[in-house]
Structure 1
Amino acid sequence: MKFQVRRAAALAAVSLAIGAAAPAPRTLVVGSGAVAGYAYPVAGAICRAANATRDKSGIRCAVESTDGSVANLQRLATGDLDLAIVQSDWQRQFVTGTGKFQSAKPDTELRALLSLYPEVLAIVVRADSGIAGAEDLRGKKVVIGEPKQPANPLFGDLLVAIDLDRKEFAQTIEMPLADQPKSLCDKRVDAVVTVVAHPSMFLQQIAASCPIKLLEFKGEAIDQMLRTRPHLAAATLPPNAYPGQAEPVASFGIRATLVTRSSLPDEAAEGIVASVLAELDGIKRQHPVFAGIDRSQLGTAALSAPLHPGARKVLEKAGIAVPPPATAEPPSPTR
């Protein structure tokens, strides 16, 4: 009988010890994009940073390849994902119930964690073309994208900002991507419009075929456009990204962003953001595109969803700018 009592007491002690032990790390699933794109490797870099501190933070991170931003937002809303990489223009449409999401109500539960690398509007011309700026495209043949692809909204934003109508071009052309470099270099077209993360293999291919120039977009008209389109942000292409491009080139574009839901515990958001900050220099070295991540803009650039309180706490502590906790929502731009 005494043996049974002692055994029961021992089992109870073991149970209490187990109950007091640290809980197993919580696994957060990050929706990324196609394996061949940039969202998948940046999600992997974020997860590696988080997993390096999982014993301390209690957070384990796993990457899932997905169909991209729209699918990520939808799966976040159903709880199928915990975090996601989302382009800032899709983020904007989701929180305002516009564009692709105009049949749904504005989403009030999406939360931003970080602004990541830029995807920038680029207009490429031949170096000997005599085209100095976008206004010089009047009367020119301009490749605006690929056949059966959606219109490039950033190009549309630019034209509105500088008061330029497509009717003023000699021709706007849709052309398969593979044909664009040769057509530009052979002078069959005068300019190619694209939105890319830099450095871009596509632009490198053109630059290898003929000397090129990238047009700059800056000034009050561009600044005013960016003030009314919070899903966009200014961007600067560093010098020597492409052959013959010795100076930095000012432009603008969307951002890849890391988002979640308001239901994510503050401690989890803090852990993810803190781990990224701690490993940011290493993350930027993992891929040439990630070098475009700007530490000073992690909490502000092209974010439409409110910043998660956990992210705000970590960024503020690190001295990184964040938006005011409560601001009036700017009107959605019309296109």
Structure 2
Amino acid sequence: MRGLIGLVTGLLLAAAAPAAAETQYFRIATAGETGTYFPVGHALAAAASRPPDLVVSAIASNGSVANVEAISNGTVESGLVQADVAHWAITGTGAYDARGPRPGLRAIAALYPETVHLVVRRDSGITGIDTLRGKHVSIDEPGSGTLADVRLILDAHGFNERDFVAEYYKPDLAAQLVGDGQLDGFFFVGGFPSEAIAMLAGRKLGEIALAPIAGPGVNRLLADNAFFTPARIPVNTYPRLDAVETVAVRALWLTGEDQPAELIERLTEALWSDQARAVLDAGHAQARAIRPETALLGLTVPLHPGAEAFYRKAGLIK
């Protein structure tokens, strides 16, 4: 009898005890492993994680458009997305004209500017967009933000991908093919330095160049697309490559409107903590550029209520 009473008492006490906090898992979809999103996503994940009850992880993906789709259909909790792609997705315009809008996208933070690179073999004869005709160039894979941007850039110059031999490769494969002489060049949109470009330039010293994206075509591009801004890749960003004029868009960390406000507020607070600052400063060059004073610049979708609550408390929104 005493054993039965003890068992019942134990069960009652166990039922009355507070449950242990359940671990929350939160994923960040990035892009290919040799681009900038992948290392930046891992830095963000390390900065925002608060184990054991909050575990943030970064996963590879096909890039911005794929990340928008994954967030929208609930496959992942968040993703890194170019500001222009986010704008098209939420408004159902541009690259989303045929797909329809994705109105549930919400922002956690703006991160850093992403620069358009046109990487070419020096002997290719490519000195800008107007010299692409007849060349063999990769414009990135379907589902990438790079592909969407390149189509806009080409259109502003009166070109399209039928005016040259277009391929649709990830940046790492495209860089390898350029180095092997099987491609004349490739486009990449991302924060510099890119691992794939740095490795190519280092392997083919003096044989690789960055072509400028400048001139009247760019003036039309900027006039028609407010999310593009003029940019410059500094000299020696990559081994033996000169400085070059180009354009850029901002990278955004996005989530879905259905994510709990408490969770997103906690993530945002963790992202801008002193602990996170040390992690970001030890990471990729673009992770070091992620700062609270620019967290609201270039947003093309509304803030998530949880993120907005943090920024109001921090005095960044009046």
Distance 1:283 1:6 in 2: 53
Q: Would you say the 8 A contact 1:182–1:206 is kept in 2?
A: no
Quick one: structure 1 residues 158 and 283, their matched pair in 2 at CA, closer, same or farther if it must change by over 3 Å?
same
Say whether residues 1:27 and 2:25 are aligned partners.
yes
Alignment correspondent of 1:146: 138
Q: Would you say the 8 A contact 2:229–2:249 is kept in 1?
A: yes
Q: Would you say the 8 A contact 1:29–1:83 is kept in 2?
A: yes
Q: Would you say the 8 A contact 1:119–1:195 is kept in 2?
A: no
Quick one: structure 1 residues 281 and 223, their matched pair in 2 at CA, closer, same or farther if it must change by over 3 Å?
farther
Q: Would you say the 8 A contact 1:84–1:260 is kept in 2?
A: yes
Q: Which amino acid aligns with 2:71?
A: L
The alignment's TM-score, normalised by the length of structure 2, stands at 0.69
Alignment correspondent of 1:194: 187
> How much has 1:240 moved relative to structure 2?
2.5
Q: Deviations over 1:240-280 (max 9, x none)?
A: 31244576x54323444321111222221122122222214
Q: Identical aligned pairs, as a percentage? A: 24
Alignment correspondent of 2:283: 286
Aligned pairs for 1:109-148 within 5 A? 109-123=104-118, 143=135, 145-146=137-138
Distance 1:239 1:294 in 2: 24
Quick one: structure 1 residues 173 and 91, their matched pair in 2 at CA, closer, same or farther if it must change by over 3 Å?
same
Q: Would you say the 8 A contact 1:88–1:254 is kept in 2?
A: yes
Aligned pairs for 1:201-216 within 5 A? 201-202=196-197, 205-206=200-201, 208-210=204-206, 214=210
Q: Which entry has the higher C-alpha Rg, 1 or 2?
A: 1
Pick aligned residue for 2:55 from 60, 66, 72: 60
Quick one: structure 1 residues 318 and 215, their matched pair in 2 at CA, closer, same or farther if it must change by over 3 Å?
farther
Pick aligned residue for 2:300 from 292, 299, 304: 304
Distance 2:303 2:252 in 1: 11
SS in 2 for 1:29: strand
> How much has 1:139 moved relative to structure 2?
6.5
Say whether residues 1:81 and 2:73 are aligned partners.
no
Q: Deviations over 1:35-64 (max 9, x none)?
A: 55543443332222222x346xx5332444
- For these two proteins, the number of residue pairs brought into alignment is 302
Q: Would you say the 8 A contact 1:142–1:193 is kept in 2?
A: no
Say whether residues 1:240 and 2:236 are aligned partners.
yes
Alignment correspondent of 2:15: 15
The alignment's TM-score, normalised by the length of structure 1, stands at 0.66
List gaps (5 residues or longer) in structure 2: 168-173
Distance 2:175 2:107 in 1: 33
CA RMSD of aligned residues (A): 4.6
Q: Would you say the 8 A contact 2:139–2:186 is kept in 1?
A: no
Q: Would you say the 8 A contact 2:139–2:188 is kept in 1?
A: no
Moved more, 249-258 or 118-127: 118-127
SS in 2 for 1:209: coil
Distance 2:231 2:278 in 1: 19
Distance 1:25 1:86 in 2: 26
